[in-house]
């Protein structure tokens, strides 16, 4: 229902919300796990949508155009893949026009719920919610577990030799 591009754009915005200065595309690509060529397109769309700023030069990169308190899920969706609403009859029935039938009214009602959730969710609020999983980050436990796994693998390899 939500596009892959929106998922990627949200990762970019969330990542930049935690950075203090301009960040290069390569650095964003690593943190967000978005393929770099795809990421360039996403960043371009977010710039066009006025959500991120580009700074050129040696220490250039991308920054958020406004604080995470002032960016909602809705803003990101509108920049990338606007939430569609049904405002006129998709069948093109002249007499329906903007007076939708019950089927299209109900579909639009569902879309309206999504829009409300998106409009009331700021990036800042989502980042401050106390959950065990921090957006874009592995938990400290997992980082420790990964380290131990790598060590075990190394030891096994050495023993094989």
- Residue 118 contacts a copy of itself per CB under 8 A: yes
DSSP 66-81: S-GGG-BHHHHHHHHS
d(CA 116, CA 71): 14
SS3 category, 109: helix
Out of 44, 88, 105, 155, name the contact with a copy of itself by CB under 8 A.
Answer: 105
- Among 59, 94, 157, 158, interactor with a copy of itself by CB under 8 A: 94
User: How many chain residues bind a copy of itself (CB under 8 A)?
Assistant: 52
CA distances from 127 to 27, 123, 135, 159 (A): 20, 6, 7, 44
**C-alpha span between 38 and 129 (Å, rounded):** 29
Q: How far apart are CA 149 and CA 155, in angstroms?
A: 10
Is residue 62 within 8 A of residue 83, CB to CB? The reply is no
Nearest distance, CB of residue 66 and a copy of itself, angstroms? 18
Q: Which is nearer to a copy of itself, 55 or 88 (CB)?
A: 88
Site string for a copy of itself, 30-69 (x = CB under 8 A): --xx------------------------------------
The correct pick among 9, 11, 16, 79 for binding a copy of itself (CB under 8 A) is 11
Tell me how far, at minimum, the Cβ of 136 lies from a copy of itself, in Å. 7
Distance CA 60, CA 30 (A): 17
Task: Give the interface with a copy of itself as residue ranges (CB under 8 A).
Answer: 1-2, 7, 10-11, 14, 32-33, 73, 83-84, 89-96, 99-107, 109-111, 113-114, 117-118, 121, 126-127, 129, 131-139, 141-142, 145-146
């Amino acid at each position: 229902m939500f596009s892959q591009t929106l998922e990627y754009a949200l990762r970019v915005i969330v990542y930049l919300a935690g950075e203090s200065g301009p960040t290069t595309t390569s650095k964003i690509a690593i943190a967000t796990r978005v393929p770099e060529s795809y990421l360039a397109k996403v960043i371009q769309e977010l710039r066009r949508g006025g959500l991120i700023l580009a700074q050129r030069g040696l220490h250039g990169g991308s920054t958020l155009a406004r604080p995470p308190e002032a960016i909602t899920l809705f803003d990101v969706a509108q920049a990338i893949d606007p939430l569609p609403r049904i405002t006129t009859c998709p069948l093109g029935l002249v007499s329906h026009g903007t007076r939708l039938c019950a089927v299209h009214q109900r579909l639009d009602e569902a879309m309206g719920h999504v829009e409300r959730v998106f409009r009331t969710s700021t990036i800042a609020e989502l980042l401050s919610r106390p959950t065990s999983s921090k957006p874009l980050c592995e938990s400290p436990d997992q980082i420790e577990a990964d380290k131990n796994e790598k060590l075990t693998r190394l030891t096994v390899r050495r023993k094989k030799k």
